[in-house]
Amino acid sequence: MSPVKPQPANRIILLGAPGAGKGTVAKALVDLFGLSHLSTGDMLRAAVAAGTPLGVQAKSFMDAGALVPDELMVGLIADRVQQPDCKSPSGVVRFLLDGFPRTLPQADALDAGQLGPDLVVYLAVDDAIIVDRLCGRRTCPGCGSPFHIHFAPPKVDGICDRCGTALVHRSDDQEAAIRKRLEAFHRQTGPLVGRYAACLVTIDGAQAPADVLAQVVRTLRARGAIVENAGQTANVVS
């Protein structure tokens, strides 16, 4: 018997704690592989604005202050991937899903909708590093410019370079709030690492961003993801 050839990786899920660097990786994969980046917030807003049947249903939950049920969210994803930007020239559905699933029941709902991933990229970063990354953020309440006390310090301590306003340390970026989000991530989303073991690749997200990216790109190429911008990809990897 010949070994089963793994599915080419075209339905990709990005998994990682807040602050693990998912946003940077997602943007690069969109640019390099021409993948459509599906975020639940964007899909919800678009469906509600367009008044699709599922959008109308979703709105009723949101208006009532309730969470949108997992099956409904999967329905929105199923609708979304029918759009041309989620198909290769030969009609293969391909996407990069970020922020969903966050829980085991959501992963089950995704499978039930025939939308399970063929590759899960898990950006693993120690909590201590994430706390350091997020806790050092400072924001300008005047113009919104972001700073970081270690990685992007302002020229004058505590003052916005652009408009001179005193920078603030938002409550979201304070250690207690970050620890709480990390705890929720480990409790709810952590089990997905085991759930997706068969198609999961763990990347050390504590490396320099360029190294994280190069490793993710190598992984996708090794898994036969369709490369739309081969020149750019080669530059990142070499």
Q: Which chain residues interact with Zn ion by CB under 5 A?
A: 140, 142-143, 145, 160, 162-163, 165
Burial of 1 from C-beta contacts in 10 A (0-12 / 13-18 / 19+): exposed
- Closer Cβ to Zn ion, 34 or 153, answer by number: 153
Dist. CA 182–CA 75, nearest whole Å: 28
- Closer Cβ to Zn ion, 146 or 191, answer by number: 146
- Nearest distance, CB of residue 161 and Zn ion, angstroms: 7
- Nearest distance, CB of residue 23 and Zn ion, angstroms: 22
Q: 202: part of which helix (H) or strand (E)?
A: strand 200-204
Which residue, among 96, 116, 104, has the nearest Cα to 28 in the 3D structure? Answer: 96
- Closer Cβ to Zn ion, 166 or 210, answer by number: 166
Residue 84: which residues within 8 A CB-CB, separation 6 or more? none
The secondary structure of 118-155 as a DSSP string is SEEEEEE--HHHHHHHHHTEEE-TTT--EEETTTB--S
Catalytic residues: 22, 102, 137, 170, 181
Neighbours of 70 (CB within 10 A): 20
Neighbours of 195 (CB within 10 A): 16
Tokens (6 digits) for 91: 């009609």
- Closer Cβ to Zn ion, 53 or 146, answer by number: 146
- Nearest distance, CB of residue 139 and Zn ion, angstroms: 9
